[in-house]
Amino acid sequence: MRGRLLRASVVLLIALGSASWLPGQTSQVSAQKLPAFEVASVKKSSPGEAGPFIRRDPGGRITVANMPVRDLITYAYRLAPSQLIGGPSWTVTDHFDVVAKLEGTPELGLPGSGPDPVQLAMRTLLAERFRLKAHQEMREMDIYALVMIKPGVAGPALKPISTECAATIAAGPGAHAKASAPAPSRTIAPCGGIGIGAGVIRFGGFPISQFTPILGERSGRVVADRTGLTGSWQFELRFAPEQGGQRSPDAEVSASDSNAPTFVTALQEQLGLKLEPVKAPVDVLVIDHVEPPTED
């Protein structure tokens, strides 16, 4: 499966496996109904620049480096790559840098929870600076079903949410933030958070359905939860990063580590889960029009 790394100085939550349009939004992207960045700079990336990555910092700031427009659209609309249809070739070949700030301190959205304010503001930026117009359709597509290898039998790393973590989440945002801080040992999933890095995914007390967007981003297809698992779960999934992929400075697993399993093997051995190819109707976003951006 294809891997792509989004690096962050805060816990970065990736949710690109299911469409999250606003209710009734089936025509062009409307900048009037969405939040907008206070300030935003858009420039074409320099040759040899590091990236691609998206970094979310406290205070509503987002930095995008060396990223194609198609990836900006899938990020803003929470799509798996296969859910974005059409567009000229330059949306893949040309890369851009974006530095923008949203008023206040917007929270990161959890997978499956809908777009967060920064992602909505990114939609505004795409409409205004790239003249993006798009519409929603339903199409029959190849997807993956996430299933249990042995029905009802979880892998050794997949644990039901602990009583302590459930209480922390229920206590509210203050307790959540304290509990989500990285543990000194870096060996447990953050309670109430999702941490993603090179060679590790930490999942801290959510329904398995909120893991499928992460799998969709890695595989390039929509992933449907058909595990039958109910309730909330915690796990730490460790695997070998893809050779040649972007690495974060604090990568915990070396791509050359002969003992580290591939992602697919880790999914099976550690979580007791696997991906099966199936066909299903999928919401897609079709690009009607997009232009190279106005730079500043």
Rounded CA-CA distance 149/168 in Å is 31
Q: Which of 21, 252, 43, 294 is nearest to 134 (CA)?
A: 21
Q: What is the pLDDT of residues 122-174, one digit of tens each?
A: 999 999 999 999 999 999 999 999 999 999 999 999 999 988 888 887 776 54
Q: What is the pLDDT of residue 80?
A: 87
CA atoms within 13 A on the CB side of 237: 28
Tell me the pTM: 0.69
Please list the residues that pair with 141 across neighbouring strands: 280
For residue 281, list its beta bridge partners. Answer: 140
DSSP run (H or E) holding 124: helix 117-129
Q: Pick out the chain residues at pLDDT < 70.
A: 1-32, 108-113, 172-190, 243-258
Q: How confident is the model at residue 97, as a pLDDT?
A: 95
pLDDT of residue 217: 84
